[in-house]
Chain A
């Protein structure tokens, strides 16, 4: 459900009208709009934002690890509309056990490397990604360095 104070943000209202079940939560803080999207709906919402709401650019995709909380992972999308001069943050929460989400490469080809980076550093899998393999770490690396349970110091075991 879209929180009531977001009804006056045109983008938030448009997404809620497009698919009432897609938005699970949201907030507007410091001129930044955040919409929490149900993971199953991310591709359709992104397609709607790009083709209908003119958010032609995907600025970045990243993730946050909330270990040991559950749902553990947040996948964060920053989309940008050049024409409307507006930015929106989309957030999907994923479980810590076999985190997997649909890739948005079919909407923005630029998502390719960002999703590979998340796969590499957080171990989140992206379904229907054209080329899902490590990008920054060596191919034979074990573990995912940006997870909170990955040590910062000490030798590699």
Chain B
């Protein structure tokens, strides 16, 4: 990329090329195709020697107009759009959207569906943290960790495939419960994985936690004060690594998270290493939640009993007139959602994920706004990297764990 697309921005940076010390400053363009940005993010970095003096962030390369598309889909169809926002944590997005619409409908979800949702969103958290850990370590130079992480991630994706038929774009949570009946043998499969997983986390820690190179590259790097983070809209593990015990799963529990016993890990060092420790500990806590879900999974229906919203069983649809009519109506028109607005917040692997759904009483959402954690977190990039060495920029932005699809929507 030779021609900068933001003339105002580059002019602004170039005006100050003369530094107080008399040395020339250099403007470095990083991205949009840079391996460490995990997507298409563009950073303009102004350097004085090796020190970053200014950083401007340019996003929007992955903007696909998902929020506009919501307005022409029926409520149930729109579930598939939420998968494609944060493609590393599709089930968390499904959950946030479904909860928002269910709140508008005033719907009760049966316990089995709720527990299944908890179990699968926690597996999603593991999935997302594994990708983060692998790629973050790869950015910093620890190549082997990537291979270990993806070995376990593959197992999780196979579990998702078993449930929904899809590895990544699962759309497994639907308004009213789950998309399909949990498959035969799921319990054994998840149990086999989750019993083995804690030893895998030990393995990653063996590779990294006491590794002198890893510590040298991460400890004391990427500091940003807690006040700045709260002011700039940062959420999730970044805040927890700065000592603030904030987790929507505890503060405003949803989908029966209040019935699970888990800790919210925090650290006070507020650097890249602390964020690593918080996320590793979160993996252990998620493992605990999945184990509890497996042990106490309630039996019963896996979708709500609401013929206006939930598709009837195949069996009933083939034999009963009433069910056939409902099936036809739901598939062709969708269902009406009462007028109103709802802001549903959940804790996605990256932080606070909010769905603001406005209904005007028709079968498609009037407006859906996604408050995505990556968008908020990325806003702090400039503040975080200004004043540090260019070599630490990659470690710092890696510790934010953003997904550009989530940012640009």
Answer whether A and B are interacting partners.
yes
Q: Please determine whether B252 and A108 come into contact, CB atoms closer than 8 angstroms.
A: no
Q: Tell me the nearest residue of chain A to B408, going by C-beta.
A: A136
Q: Does B296 contact A (CB under 8 A)?
A: no
Q: Which of A3-11, A14-22, A40-48, A59-67 lies at the interface with chain B?
A: A59-67
Q: Does B141 contact A (CB under 8 A)?
A: no
Q: Please determine whether B358 and A60 come into contact, CB atoms closer than 8 angstroms.
A: no
- How many Å from the CB of A118 to the closest CB on chain B? 10
Q: Please determine whether B375 and A113 come into contact, CB atoms closer than 8 angstroms.
A: yes
Q: Please determine whether B244 and A82 come into contact, CB atoms closer than 8 angstroms.
A: yes
> CA–CA, A90 to B369, complex, Å?
15
Known contacts A60-B371, A78-B356, A89-B343, A146 near B68 by CB under 8 Å: yes
Q: Does A137 contact B (CB under 8 A)?
A: yes
- Mark A50-86 against chain B: 1 for CB-CB distance below 8 A, else 0: 0000001111101011000000000010100010010
Known contacts A57-B233, A135-B59, A30 near B342 by CB under 8 Å: yes
Query: Which residues of chain B from 58 to 102 have any CB-CB distance to chain A below 8 Å in the complex?
Result: 59-60, 63, 65, 67-69, 71-72
Query: Which residues of chain B from 328 to 373 have any CB-CB distance to chain A below 8 Å in the complex?
Result: 340-343, 345, 352, 354, 356, 358, 366-367, 369, 371
Known contacts A133-B8, A146-B67, A82 near B379 by CB under 8 Å: no
> CA–CA, A51 to B162, complex, Å?
50
Q: Please determine whether A56 and B230 come into contact, CB atoms closer than 8 angstroms.
A: yes
Q: Please determine whether A85 and B251 come into contact, CB atoms closer than 8 angstroms.
A: yes
Chain B: residues with Cβ within 8 Å of the partner, total of 39
Q: Does B231 contact A (CB under 8 A)?
A: yes
Q: Does B219 contact A (CB under 8 A)?
A: no
Q: Does A152 contact B (CB under 8 A)?
A: yes
Q: Please determine whether B231 and A62 come into contact, CB atoms closer than 8 angstroms.
A: no
Q: Which range contains the number of A residues in contact with the other chain?
A: 35 or more
Which residues of A line the B interface, CB within 8 A? 29-30, 32, 34, 56-60, 62, 64-65, 76, 78, 82, 85, 87, 89, 108-110, 112-114, 121, 133-139, 145-146, 150, 152
Q: Does B6 contact A (CB under 8 A)?
A: yes
Q: Please determine whether A76 and B233 come into contact, CB atoms closer than 8 angstroms.
A: no
Option from B65, B233, B367 in Cβ contact (under 8 Å) with A58: B233
- How many Å from the CB of B180 to the closest CB on chain A? 29
Most interface-central of B67, B342, B369 (chain A CB within 10 A): B369
Q: Please determine whether A60 and B356 come into contact, CB atoms closer than 8 angstroms.
A: yes
- How many Å from the CB of A58 to the closest CB on chain B? 6
Q: Please determine whether B231 and A109 come into contact, CB atoms closer than 8 angstroms.
A: yes
Q: Does B376 contact A (CB under 8 A)?
A: yes
Q: Please determine whether A145 and B68 come into contact, CB atoms closer than 8 angstroms.
A: yes
> CA–CA, A21 to B207, complex, Å?
61
- Mark B280-302 against chain A: 1 for CB-CB distance below 8 A, else 0: 00000000000000000000000
Q: Tell me the nearest residue of chain B to A85, going by C-beta.
A: B251
Q: Tell me the nearest residue of chain B to A135, going by C-beta.
A: B60
Q: Please determine whether B375 and A152 come into contact, CB atoms closer than 8 angstroms.
A: no
What A residues does B319 contact at CB under 8 A? none
What A residues does B68 contact at CB under 8 A? 145-146, 150, 152
